[in-house]
Amino acid sequence: MHIPDIIIAIDGYSSTGKSSFARLIADEFDFLYLDSGALYRGVTLYAMENGMISPDKEIDVPALETAMETLDLHFAGSGSHSVTYMGERCVEKDIRTLAVSGLVSPIAAVPQVRAYVDRRLRELGSRKRVVLDGRDIGTTVFPDAELKIFMVADLDVRAMRRASEMQSKGENVSFDEVMKNLEERDYIDSHRKASPLAKAEDAIVLDNSRMTLQDQMEWIRKIISERFNPSTSAKSC
């Protein structure tokens, strides 16, 4: 299916499957996938490893702000196969641990961190033909994105998916821990002052609690063909 040079913005709650969906979209339409959460996770990992977060989660914002002037977080690889790098180091695995997940929401609430990530995303997304996922892509980072999707799913479904994903990667986590982490992140993400998680007015809601990835792909193909390729969606009579 032909699809013009557009930006696809996918926002929504943690563990609604945004990145799996965005990666499949990137593959199908030959778009570049940008994982904004990975950049917040990268900043969090950097802050943790450099003693910028105290045990009671106090963040040394001035030190972090200085470090971000030269912090080189980027993606390498193409299409959906992009992985996250900090300078020369591949941090794709290190940024997905429960330790990072437990600290990423307070880091993502720091306005200077949001400014850093927004700048990186706009640089990387300026070429169009990108699909991005996050919490504020359609509201703040790319408010003019041509297609905006807001993903939701029941909390227990999200916790179950996330726990099995982490367990399959060898992380020793319980369903209850994951559920608690998700609840905390939902609260912080949607109540923070700077760019809280919110549905853009023109976003289409996708509740995938009872949908497979294939169901979701069928759903988006239909939307894309109706919006951007009406000739292929016209029914013959």
Nearer CB in complex with ligand DC: 1/115? 115
Strands (E), the chain: 7-12, 32-35, 73-76, 83-86, 89-90, 130-134, 147-152, 204-207
CA distances from 194 to 40, 103, 189 (A): 14, 17, 9
Q: Which amino acid is at 102?
A: G
CB count in 10 Å sphere of residue 56: 5
User: At 199, is the secondary structure helix, strand, or coil?
Assistant: coil
| Residue 136 makes contact with ligand DC by CB under 6 A | yes
Work out whether 14 is an interface residue with ligand DC (CB under 6 A): yes
Cα–Cα distance between 36 and 124 in angstroms, integer? 11
CB of 232 to ligand DC, least distance (A): 32
Place of tokens 């996770």: 41
Q: Which residue has the tokens 């030269």?
A: 70
- Shortest Cβ 36–ligand DC spacing (Å): 4
Count of residues that interact with ligand DC, criterion CB under 6 A: 14
Q: Which is nearer to ligand DC, 86 or 137 (CB)?
A: 137
Residue 49 CB, nearest approach to ligand DC (Å): 17
Structure tokens at 6: 């557009």
To ligand DC, the closest distance from the beta carbon of 103 in angstroms equals: 10
Q: Least distance from C-beta 88 to ligand DC, angstroms?
A: 22
Convert residues 172-211 into a mask of x (bound to ligand DC by CB under 6 A) and - (unbound). -------------x---x----------------------
Q: Which of residues 18-77 bind ligand DC (CB under 6 A)?
A: 36-37, 40-41
The residues of the shown chain that bind ligand DC, judged by CB under 6 A, are: 14, 36-37, 40-41, 104-105, 108, 134-137, 185, 189
